[in-house]
A and B are shown apart, each in its own frame.
Chain A
Amino acid sequence: MKLLRPQVWSLSVKLPLTLSAVVVGVSGVIATTIILQDHQRLNTALEEKALFMARAVAATAIEDVLRNDFWSLYKSLRQVATGLTDQARDSRVLTGMVLDSEGRVLAHLAPARHRLGLPLETETEPEAEFKERSLALRQGAVAWGVDGKTGFVEGMVPIMAADKHLGVVRLRLSTIELDARTRAVTATALGWTLALALAGSLLGAVISIRMVRPLSALNHAMERLGRGEAAGAIAVRERDEIGQLVHGFQRMAEELANKQRLEREMARDEKLVALGRIAAGVAHEINNPLAGLFNCLSNIRDHPDDATLVRRYLPMIEQGLSRIRALVQDLLIELRAEQAWEPADVLCLDELRDLIRAEIGDAPIELVWRNKAAGLARINKPRCQLVLLNLLKNAVQAMPDGGRLELETGVEGETLTLCVSDTGIGIPPENLSRLFDPFFTTRPSGTGLGLWISYRLVVSMRGSIVAESRPGGGARFLLRLPIDGGPPVREMPT
């Protein structure tokens, strides 16, 4: 799944995502801090308020408690509670009471339920604990708790007269309003975080588009360069690292183009040189027999009456002419093959089998023919047949005392392999590197053009040819060709 692998995501996705993540992270941290601080501040304010209210009641309560003035206690409790309810919306008095040091009710904001003079009834365990705790206090304190679903904070202030504990004032404020305020702050902070994240994403998108555009152009240019086309100009205004990269690439592409132009020129020069070399070779090869022929003719002309000379020279003349004819034939074959293109199945190579049998004749040579690629690949029939025939003939000639000649074809992936091996005299290591040079031959009657032509044909078919001398004697030629038969006609290397 591409979506699950961030390393393949486009920069134009990653950059906005990263920026959004950073913005969300930062604003989230800030928002959380603000919310927590605000909550803390409100908590503290509520605690102070609860304590302040309880103190306000306690301050006037001493006389009333001493005089059992329950009505005054009730009125001051109510006054504080109503005063708060009237002026502030951020908290509400849930309950309030004045207890004597024994825990009896001296005043209560719910007088119908909590009767004057009776011990405060506590219906739950936490309430009982609150009561015990408030009675044990010798100075003001606040406590947090939950009553049913309502959170509260309670201010507890003891009523003390000259070290004597007379009772305690308890005032309980609801935290519902506080929680609502915190929720409102949280919603605001969340809204801002989302808005900032959106802004961050947009900013990231803009930045990444500006960053990625030259990179994409660079990428396309590199692909064109890889296909051998001109890289083309890349418009880039930035002078930052990306701009420098693009400029660097453009310089490199220009230098590469220069290099390729130089190489083409050098190759053309080399070709001309090679052509000259071949022309010189042909001239030399023809010149040698010609010299002998002219020598014979000169002797015969000098001694017109000597019939023995004619008998003696005729074979020599024939041999010289034959050599010239062979040379010309080879060159013609090469010329023909150069133009030839006829796609066919590998099976067509079997046509050569009888030709080779004829070449072997009575020689004690065993021919092993394994055309396993037949039906699996296509080849350029005239070129391939010429190359294979050359190799097979060479192999037959390399085994004057007989032996074993083997052809094996096969397919490896997209490659057709052709292997010709013999058990003949083999190739000396020093000759291996010159084997495919024109006019290189070890046979007196050879022209030295066969392997050179084969090599050029193989290369023209986008293939390769390798020669090996086998340790146990004999030679082995391995051809590799594309299985689609290669291009119709391709310029042959020299």
Chain B
Amino acid sequence: MPKALLAAAATPAVRFGLTAVVVRENLHFYDRWSAYLESRIGHKVAFVQRRSYREIMDMLEADELDFAWICGFPYVQASATIGLLVVPLYGGVPLYQSYIITHRDNPAVALSQLEGSVFAYSDPNSNSGFLVPRAQLAALGWAPDRFFRLSFFTYSHAETVQAVSERVADAGAVDSYVWDYLRRFQPEQVERTKIIQRSDLYGFPPIVYRPRTPPTLRETMARELVAMTGTAEGRALLDDLMLDGFSRQTPGLFDGIRRLADRVPRTPAAP
């Protein structure tokens, strides 16, 4: 047995948190990815899933995770305590946007026409699924919780698409990357929806580390993630994620989100 694998089996696993920014249902993909990362960094890698951003953030702060793939909004909220590792490249850039979607039969063509309807947010700590639409409504002069008759959280961009396609909600806000991903891999539900509004571009949900993650591990992980484009297996994994690669970025990438967060009053999330 190679020494590296023996070491990997002996040392505690590297724990990697996942949130709604990626489609989490494809468990085989994460098995392959963890196996790939293990072979590269010499550590066992375990992906950890929780329902909400909040839970993942709590685990990071409690040192239960080494890394996590989170949204830009929780990152800017916790940027004092967590570090930015890498940012995925989507369409060649580390940026994405928020889509306002409705059922394709809904006559509305803009967010402003959705007054009195039922709205699906993804997560109260989501940028594209919560912060952006609320900021947009605030810009239109509406108190978001009064504009919609009802709103609820699905805690998953994919389920927001489901809620809208099944007309449980009239409209919802989703991550452009997830919507595009679903349109390619699970088109039935996406095809029953339509995009009525696209937001400005924001920093793509980043991969972060906790302060106490060993710097060598941080560096190894960052290096290997960025280097994925250099291996055939890495490229295949990136293809499955519909990403072009991972890149090192500065926290300034998320200033747009930071400004949004400052603008939108921190009202209680519950509808």
Residues of A within 8 A of B (CB): 67-71, 74-75, 107, 111-112, 115-117
- The answer to the question of B8 belonging to the interface, with a C-beta cut-off of 8 Å to chain A, is no
Size class of the contact patch on chain B: 10 to 19
CB neighbours (8 Å) of A70 from chain B are 118, 150, 152, 168
Contact A74 B168 (CB under 8 A): yes
Contact A111 B150 (CB under 8 A): no
Contact B152 A68 (CB under 8 A): yes
- The answer to the question of B64 belonging to the interface, with a C-beta cut-off of 8 Å to chain A, is no
Tell me which of A67, A107, A112 contacts B167 (CB under 8 A).
A112
Contact with A along B79-107 (1 / 0, CB 8 A): 00000000000000000000000000000
Question: 8 closest pairs, A vs B, by CB?
Answer: A112-B167, A111-B168, A117-B150, A70-B152, A71-B154, A116-B118, A71-B152, A111-B167
Q: State the CA gap A181–B65 with chains docked (Å).
A: 56
- The answer to the question of B240 belonging to the interface, with a C-beta cut-off of 8 Å to chain A, is no
- The answer to the question of B159 belonging to the interface, with a C-beta cut-off of 8 Å to chain A, is yes
Contact A115 B270 (CB under 8 A): no
**Which of chain B's residues has its CB closest to A108's CB?**
B168
Contact B118 A117 (CB under 8 A): yes
Contact A71 B120 (CB under 8 A): yes
Additional 7 contacts, C-beta under 8 A, given A69-B152, A71-B163, A117-B149 = A68-B270, A68-B271, A70-B150, A74-B163, A75-B159, A111-B168, A116-B150
Q: State the CA gap A111–B167 with chains docked (Å).
A: 6
- The answer to the question of B153 belonging to the interface, with a C-beta cut-off of 8 Å to chain A, is yes
Q: State the CA gap A71–B154 with chains docked (Å).
A: 6
Contact A71 B167 (CB under 8 A): no
Contact A71 B271 (CB under 8 A): no
Q: State the CA gap A477–B159 with chains docked (Å).
A: 127
- The answer to the question of B166 belonging to the interface, with a C-beta cut-off of 8 Å to chain A, is yes
Q: State the CA gap A210–B271 with chains docked (Å).
A: 90
Q: State the CA gap A71–B169 with chains docked (Å).
A: 9
Given A111-B166, A111-B167, A116-B168, are A71 and B159 also a contact pair (CB < 8 Å)?
A: yes
CB neighbours (8 Å) of B150 from chain A are 68, 70, 116-117
**Which of chain B's residues has its CB closest to A107's CB?**
B168
**Which of chain B's residues has its CB closest to A74's CB?**
B168
CB neighbours (8 Å) of A75 from chain B are 159
Q: State the CA gap A362–B270 with chains docked (Å).
A: 155
Which parts of B153-201 form the interface with A (CB within 8 Å)? Answer: 153-155, 159, 163, 166-169
Q: State the CA gap A67–B271 with chains docked (Å).
A: 9
Given A71-B163, A71-B168, A74-B168, are A115 and B118 also a contact pair (CB < 8 Å)?
A: yes
Q: State the CA gap A111–B169 with chains docked (Å).
A: 8
Q: State the CA gap A71–B167 with chains docked (Å).
A: 11
Q: State the CA gap A74–B167 with chains docked (Å).
A: 11
CB distance from A93 to the nearest CB of B (A): 15
CB neighbours (8 Å) of B166 from chain A are 111-112
Q: State the CA gap A148–B170 with chains docked (Å).
A: 29
Q: Could you list 6 examples of A-B contacts with CB < 8 Å?
A: A70-B152, A71-B154, A71-B168, A74-B163, A75-B159, A116-B168
Q: State the CA gap A112–B118 with chains docked (Å).
A: 11
Q: State the CA gap A54–B118 with chains docked (Å).
A: 25
CB distance from A11 to the nearest CB of B (A): 74
CB neighbours (8 Å) of B118 from chain A are 70, 115-117
CB neighbours (8 Å) of B169 from chain A are 116
Q: State the CA gap A415–B120 with chains docked (Å).
A: 117
Q: State the CA gap A70–B150 with chains docked (Å).
A: 9
CB distance from B171 to the nearest CB of A (A): 12
Among A68, A70, A112: residue with most chain B CB under 10 A: A70
Q: State the CA gap A18–B192 with chains docked (Å).
A: 69
Contact B168 A67 (CB under 8 A): no
Q: State the CA gap A421–B270 with chains docked (Å).
A: 137
Q: State the CA gap A180–B168 with chains docked (Å).
A: 33
**Which of chain B's residues has its CB closest to A115's CB?**
B118
Which parts of B137-152 form the interface with A (CB within 8 Å)? Answer: 149-150, 152
CB neighbours (8 Å) of B155 from chain A are 71
Contact B270 A67 (CB under 8 A): yes
Among A69, A115, A116: residue with most chain B CB under 10 A: A116
Q: State the CA gap A8–B167 with chains docked (Å).
A: 78
CB neighbours (8 Å) of B159 from chain A are 71, 75
CB distance from B130 to the nearest CB of A (A): 14
Q: State the CA gap A243–B75 with chains docked (Å).
A: 109
CB neighbours (8 Å) of A67 from chain B are 270
CB neighbours (8 Å) of A107 from chain B are 168
**Which of chain B's residues has its CB closest to A118's CB?**
B149
CB neighbours (8 Å) of B168 from chain A are 70-71, 74, 107, 111, 116
Q: State the CA gap A406–B56 with chains docked (Å).
A: 146
**Which of chain A's residues has its CB closest to B153's CB?**
A71
CB neighbours (8 Å) of A115 from chain B are 118
**Which of chain B's residues has its CB closest to A117's CB?**
B150
Q: State the CA gap A112–B120 with chains docked (Å).
A: 15
CB distance from B4 to the nearest CB of A (A): 43
Q: State the CA gap A116–B152 with chains docked (Å).
A: 11
Q: State the CA gap A117–B149 with chains docked (Å).
A: 8
